[in-house]
Structure 1
Amino acid sequence: MLFFSFFKTLIDHEVTVELKNEISIRGTLKSVDQFLNIKLDNIQVVEEIRWPHLSSTKNLFIRGSVVRYIHLPSSAVDTALLEDASRREATAAKDKKAA
């Protein structure tokens, strides 16, 4: 559930979604759900020459099961917060193992 809420904070940011069939699509994230189904607006295909049939598409719904990666803007990721959360999780796991 942590990832779902994290992606919700990226609404209206530009992301690049890489699909399992090698297509990469850049666009503005408009919605995401717990299954990683994604709605993108104002899309651009990264390698438009390879995928010309997608050049006329401007808005897209992507089923979560076909997503390989989501590339995020570095400005949207709070690395200090993620590092702190990782440390707390590691400490909790260590304490649980010791008990």
Structure 2
Amino acid sequence: MLIFSFFKTLMNTEITVELKNEVSIRGTIKSIDQFLNIKLDNATVVDELKWPHMSSTHDMFIRGSVVRYVHIPPDKVDIGLLEDATRREAEKSKAGAA
């Protein structure tokens, strides 16, 4: 849930999604779910010369299972939020293991 909550704060933010097949796609997050399925608007392929057949698609749905990395702008990272959420998850794991 931590990842999902974090990505929900990035709605309408431009990101780059790197897929497992080496394709990188830049676009604006319009929706995301707990499985990291992402809907991008105004999507463009980063290396259009290598992937010309994908240059005509502007709205994309990316299945979470094919995502390798999600690159987000550094100014959009709320470090305090991530630290707090990580701390809570660690405490929850400790309590469950005891």
Which category describes the TM-score, using the shorter chain as reference length?
A: 0.7 to 0.9
Q: Quote the Cα distance in structure 2 between the aligned partners of 1:64 and 1:57.
A: 19
Between Structure 1 and Structure 2, how many residues are aligned? 98
Unpaired segments ≥5 residues, structure 2 = none
Name the Cα RMSD after superposition. Answer: 2.1
Q: Quote the Cα distance in structure 2 between the aligned partners of 1:34 and 1:88.
A: 18
Q: TM-score, normalised to structure 1's length?
A: 0.84
CA deviation map 1:66-87 (0-9, x unaligned)? 0000001111111233334445
- Residues 84 and 29 of structure 1: CA distance in aligned 2, closer, same or farther (over 3 Å): same
2:69 matched residue in structure 1? 69
Q: Quote the Cα distance in structure 1 between the aligned partners of 2:23 and 2:35.
A: 20
1:38 matched residue in structure 2? 38
Highest CA radius of gyration, 1 or 2? 1
Matched, 1:29 2:33: no
CA deviation map 1:36-70 (0-9, x unaligned)? 11000001111110000011111000011000000
1:4 matched residue in structure 2? 4
Matched, 1:18 2:29: no
